[in-house]
Each structure stands twice: as structure tokens, then as C-alpha cells.
Amino acid sequence: MKLSKITLALAACVSLYSHIGFAQEAENKEESVERITVRGAFFGQQVASGVKTPTLLVNVPQSVSVVSAEQISEQALFSIADVMQYTPGVSVGLGEDHRDQITIRGQNTTADFFVDGLRDDVQYFRPLYNLERVEILRGANALLFGRGGGGGVVNRVTKVAEFGDDFTRLSAGIDTFSAASIALDTNKVIDENNAFRINGVFDSIDNHRDFKDGERYAINPTYTWLVNDDTSVVASYEYVNDDRLVDRGIPSENNKPIEGYTDTYFGDPDFNNTTLEAHIARVRVDHSLNQDWSINGTFQLADYDKVYQNLYPIGFDSTAQTVRLDGYRDTTSRENLLFQANVIGQIVTGNIEHTLLTGIEYGNQDTSNNRRDAFFEISQDDQVSFAFTNPLNIPAMTLTSPVRDRASDVSFTSVFVQDEVKLNDNWIVVAGFRYDNFDIDVNDAIEAANGATDGNNGRLSSSDSQMSPRAGLIYKPSEELSFYASYSKSFLPRSGDQFLTLSLSSAALDAEEFENKEIGVKWNASDKLSLTAAVFEVERENGTAQDPNNPEASILTGTETVGFEIQLVGAVTDTWTINAGYSNLDGEEMGRVVDGDLANRSLAQLPEHMITLWNQFAINDQWRLGLGLVHQSEQYATLSNTTELPEFTRIDAAAYYDYSEDLSFQLNLENVLDEEYFPSAHNDNNIGTGAPFNARVSVQYQF
């Protein structure tokens, strides 16, 4: 579905909804609709749209963190990875330097991302320019979000056209490495029933690494139409174009990152590249049925074209002064059609209050993927060893015929129901379940060409039907304080993130299952300050992990993660705001036996201790200062438990100057003490290096 098709579909949807007419009472609309947004709430966010009901976070029986657009701007956060660094229980992966990849409560994922509650599992770097906030919901979340989400999900909430004032906000910034960005956010109130908004960004990508460069630009117009007092329609279209050099970091030696080469590029700057072109069109309708009931529906069409090619290190020998590389070129095209509808009702039976949520979801995802291996003349293989130089002098290389050529068709249908039952002023029970039917058909062109003599004719299919329950009990000794216990399950069909790894053996395997048990406390110390803490256990059965002996393959494993997390967010005083978090995580395999003995290994990319702290101090009406800290203890790069990334502590700072209500300046300083550190990895020989001291100057102007 290219741009023209999506544009026509969007226009047709808007035209269709233009004939919707309902007669209900306007004064009840804000109490009933699902999308509750607190504008301009840097701290003290009280609700999350990902919860799907107008439920205060203090009454939600799971850990939820909210990072607002203001916090993203003031900390100069550039990526999802930057946002996750300030979320307890979440660590960041390298993602082969072409996609977002995170580990939530020990569960590594590239797929548990959502935008406005809709699945966004294509592998790419998600921009932040058009967001109201980022919501991170930890624990198994199948009831609200469907498959996956075993450790949690990340939901981006986008900006929409508003009916307050006309405004235009311009922002620009540049840092020490010449990475720069320019962003636009303009809102126009057409009349009392129509508003239009455009968000756009251009990013120039650069960092401390040799040869690193790239460009990304995106635009997101949105249109809001108040059909009548009870019905609203929001239509949006987003175009993203991303073109950047791929950098898979540095190799290891003696079970640690190699020393002295933090800037050296272990690839081919003329070959390593990734491009993404995405078209995403969406229409959402909200309608208040009456004082107590509301309904909303969202329809989305999206088209993604992705190319990813790279040479990357798989070994280094400092004594022989040789380096070993592997490589390939990978292309993916995906078309998504998603529909979601929710009904929310608030009713009273006797003295008991109910908040009912029920909904349906349908999706169809068509994906085509092709992979060609590198082929080196001197080795007659896709891998090659050669003398190390800086920069690398890489032997001549071509690409093979396709080693993978597959297409998949995935369809899923879901229904779910949940009831939040307020028994009295002190007790709340939350219970519900979701039923998912997930079908996948894979056409393997290479297997089809080889014939069916090996038992595989290239056409494989799998079907999973799963019931995912959720239950929570909340005790509230006061309105501001809650204690909760919860249990939830989620599943992931045996198909891989891109639904292309189905085989004769995996088609018959049960889906992966995730089970989350959690107890916690939430305390709103004031309207602007909240404290949350949780103890949890996540078990994963029939799981997969990267094979330490072959980074391009997976092995079956079960895992268990137990942990504790705490977060303090808000205004401590009138002049001091804080965002502080700590998590303690312990994760390992379950049931691994070697030579008759239990030999469970620690999970990869799971630091035992993670501490984040961001303070902002108001000096006067014009000046503010920021001071932050990020600490991670040591972590293993892979399940092999051989290569270890050392612990690190990074200090950040900022200064803000408001020249007027419309014009402001800021200076962000990252890694003030110039610490050498390694924050992430993809495998034992693809290790990310943290940037040295870096300064970024930004300006914001509004009119």
C-alpha cells in the first residue's frame, strides 16, 4: 500500500465518518472517553491512555512509567533508547544499530512497541518529535495489547490537533559531534469544530564513532473534527524517511570489550547502511453513548520498506593483529491493516461500582523478506579474516544469491473484557481475559524451488489460540495510597519478530508463555509527587534466546526473572523536581542441564543494579539547572556468560534560560566526567561504546 493508496483510504474513512450523527449530552463527554490527556504535565501524570480506561495510575495494579514531551525536550532525549535509560527495570540493546531493542524485566524484545495503543512492531528507530508522552507498562500485558509484551510494552502517545489556541513552536539544536535537528509543531484552530496540526522534524545523525552519519526526516499532519457534542474524529498521516550508516560497535577480547578502539569503525562505510520509508495513516473515532458509556474505534493502514546491509565484527586478535568480519544484505517490506474498538462503561450495582472494558481487535500483516550473504573472494565464504588496520582495509566482496526469500501473511483476531470493581472505599478488584487467534502462513521461495522431497514444499502454516488472563487486588487505606497484588499472562506465537522464521519443527511447537506475578505500592505524596515500588517475578516457558555459538540462530530456553524497582517522580518543592529510579534484577535460565548437572546461565543484558536520577532546580523566573546520573552494574553481552560489559556511572547536566515566554535556550551536557563506558551490546562481538563528553545547544521559539 503505497502513499497514494493510503491517502485514498484515509480520505474514504474521513468521508465515511462525516455522516456519523449522534445526539447525546456534551457535559458527560470528558468523563467517558478513553483518551484522557494531561497537557503540559512534565511530572505528576495521573493517567495513561495505554490502560484504555479513565483509571488513575494509583489504581492500576502494575508498574507504569510516563515520560512526557517536556521531559524528552529538557533532557534532550533523542531516541527510545534514551527514554528507556530513565525507566526502572528496562535496559537497552544495540539492536544491530538499525532498530529499537530493549530488555524489560529480563525479556529481550524488538516487537513490544505500540503507538496510540496500536501495534508498531516493524524494526526501526522510532522518532520522538510528535509525542505527547511515552508510557512504559511493565509486566505481561496481553489483555490490553495482545501477543508478546511478556516483560512489558512501550506505548507512544502522539500529539493531535487541539482546540485551545493557535500556536507555532520551532526548536533547533546542535551538539559537539555536529548532530543537529530542527523541529516544527504548529496548531491551527479552523473553527469551533475543526482543527489542524503539523509536526515535522529533520535530524542530522552523527556521534563520536568514525564515519557515523545519516539523515532522518518525518512529517505528521493531524486533523480533529468535532462532529457534534459527543463525537470526535482524529485523522492523521505520518511519513518517516531514515537513511543512516550502520555501526555494530566493537568486538571483544579476553571476555571484555577491546581496549583502545572506542572510535574505530569495524565495518565498511561504503556498504554499511540502513534505510526506512514508512507511510502510516490512521483514523480514530470517539463517541459518548450516554453519561456512563463511551466507544472508540481506530483504523490504521501502514506501509514500510526497509533495507539493511552491513559488515560486522565477529572476532579480534590483538596479538596477530587480525580482525574477522561477517555480513549480509536484508530487505523487508510490510503492509499493516489494523482495527481496534473499545467500549468503556461505568455502572453501579447496589453499592459496588464497575468500570467495564470490552473490545475487539483485528489485524493483517503481509511481510516479504530477502537476505543475501556477503561473499569474500579470498575466503570463498561469507566470513573473512584479514590484517587489522585503522580504518579497515576490507578484502573484495560481493553478494550471494538469496539465502532467504520468504513471504508471510499474518492475521489475528482478538476479543477481551475486563472489569474494575470498586467494592468500597478501600478495596478494588480488577479481573479480565483476552482471547487471541493468531494465524501465520509462510511461503519460502527457496524451499519451494528445491521441491518437496525433503518434506518441505516451502508452504508452512501455524495457528495459535490463546486465553490470557489478568487479575489484580488493590487495597487503599486512603485516596493517595494503594497496595496491590497482580497476576497476568501473555503469549508469543512461534514465528519470530518478523514472522519469517517458521520451520517444520517450530510450526508444531507451543507458543511462548509469560507469567508475571507482582506486588507493589503507589503513593501520591502530593498532586505533583508520586512514589511507586514493586516486587515481581516473570517466568518464560518455551522461550527463545540468541545462540551464543551462532548469533544468527536461536535456541529454546525457559527463563525466570525476579526483581525489585522503585521510582520517585515529581516536585519535591516549588523549585526542585526529580525523576529517580532504581531496579534490582536477577534473571537466569530454567532447567538447563550439562553433563547431568544443573547449569543455568544468567540472562544477557540484564544489569543487577540500575540507578537513574534527574534533578531540575529553579534558580529564579528565568534560570534553571539540571543534574543527572545513570548507573549500570556489569552485565553479560549474551547468554554465553563469557563477555562482560563493565559497570559504569555517567553524570549529565543542563542549564535553561527563559529569555521570554516565547523564547528559551538550553545547554545539555552529557557524560560530564568523560567516562569510558559500554552501555549496550547485540552479541559478544557487537558492543556499543558510550559517547565521551558531549554538549548540545538548543533554542525554542513559540509564536
| For range 215-237, the mean pLDDT | 97
Query: Residue 595's pLDDT is what?
Result: 82
For residue 266, the model assigns a pLDDT of 98
For the chain, what is the largest distance between any 2 Cα atoms, rounded to a whole number of angstroms? 81
The whole-angstrom separation of Cα 382 and Cα 330 is 14
Least confident segment among 129-138, 142-151, 651-660, 685-694? 142-151
What does the CA dihedral 482, 488, 492, 498 come to, rounded to 10 degrees?
-10
682 closest CA partner among 243, 313, 278: 313
Q: What is the DSSP letter of 206?
A: -
- 531 three-state secondary structure: strand
Spatial distance between the Cα atoms of 177 and 80, rounded to a whole number of angstroms: 20
The verdict on residue 381 lying in a domain is no
Domain enclosing residue 55, as ranges: 3-370+406-702
Q: How far is CA 500 from CA 102, 260, 334, 357, 554, in A?
A: 21, 39, 12, 34, 13
131 has pLDDT over 80 = yes
Q: What is the mean pLDDT of the chain?
A: 89
CA gap 482, 422 in Å, rounded: 13
Residue 547 inside a domain? The answer is: yes
Classify each residue of 473-493 as buried b or exposed e, where b means 16 or more C-beta atoms within 10 Å of its C-beta: bbebeeeeebebebbbbbbbb
Q: What is the 3-state secondary structure of 597-651?
A: EECCCECCCCCCEEEEEEEEEECCCCEEEEEEEEEECCEECCCCCCCEECCEEEE
Q: Does 398 fall in a domain?
A: no
CA nearest neighbour of 326 among 313, 315, 307, 308: 313
C-beta neighbour count of 390 within 10 angstroms: 12
Inform me whether the pLDDT recorded for 11 exceeds 80. no
pLDDT of residue 10: 37
Q: Is the Cα dihedral 68, 74, 80, 81 positive or negative?
A: negative
Tens digit of each residue's pLDDT (9 = 90 or more) over 73-91: 999 999 999 999 989 999 9
Question: Is residue 121 assigned to a domain?
Answer: yes
Summarised one tens digit per residue, pLDDT across range 599-633 is: 899 999 999 999 999 999 999 999 999 999 999 99
Determine the Cα–Cα distance for residues 592 and 557; give it in Å rounded to an integer.
8
Residue 643 lies in a domain: yes
How many angstroms separate the Cα of 212 from the Cα of each of 267, 316, 480?
11, 21, 49
Task: Give residue 674's pLDDT.
Answer: 97
410-435 confidence digits (pLDDT tens) = 999 999 999 999 999 999 999 999 99
Residue 361 domain-assigned? Answer: yes
pLDDT over threshold 90, residue 26:
no
Of 262, 380, 255, 391, whose CA–CA distance to 323 is shortest? 391
Tell me: pLDDT of 35 over 90. no
Identity of the residue numbered 230? D
Domain of residue 41, CATH code: 2.40.170.20
The number of CA neighbours under 13 Å toward the Cβ of 125 is 30
Give the model's confidence band at 45: pLDDT under 50 very low, under 70 low, under 90 confident, else very high.
Answer: low
CA distances in angstroms from 556 to 505, 541, 547, 549, 683, listed in the order given: 12, 9, 9, 14, 17
- Phi, psi dihedrals of residue 11, rounded to the nearest 5°: -65, -40
Predicted pLDDT at 543: 61
543 φ, ψ to 5°? -80, 170
Query: What is the number of residues in the chain?
Result: 703
Band of the pLDDT at 8, cuts 50, 70, 90?
very low
pLDDT at 496 over 80: no
pLDDT, tens only, 261-303: 999 999 999 999 999 999 999 999 999 999 999 999 999 999 9
What's the confidence (pLDDT) of residue 42?
A: 35
What pLDDT does 140 receive? 86
Q: What's the DSSP call for residue 313?
A: E
| Res. 176 pLDDT band, cuts 50 70 90 | very high
Do β-strands 322-349 and 293-317 pair in parallel, antiparallel, or remain unpaired?
A: antiparallel
- Give yes or no for a contact between 131 and 142, defined as CB atoms under 8 angstroms apart: no
**Is residue 384 included in any domain, yes or no?**
no
SS3 of residue 311 by DSSP: strand
Of 101, 551, 100, 123, residue with least CA distance to 325 = 551
The torsion angle over the Cα atoms of residues 5, 7, 12 and 18, rounded to 10 degrees, is: 170
Q: What is the DSSP letter of 69?
A: H
Evaluate whether residue 399 is within a structural domain.
no
Please tell me the total count of domains within the chain. 1
**Distance between CA 280 and CA 261 in Å, rounded?**
40
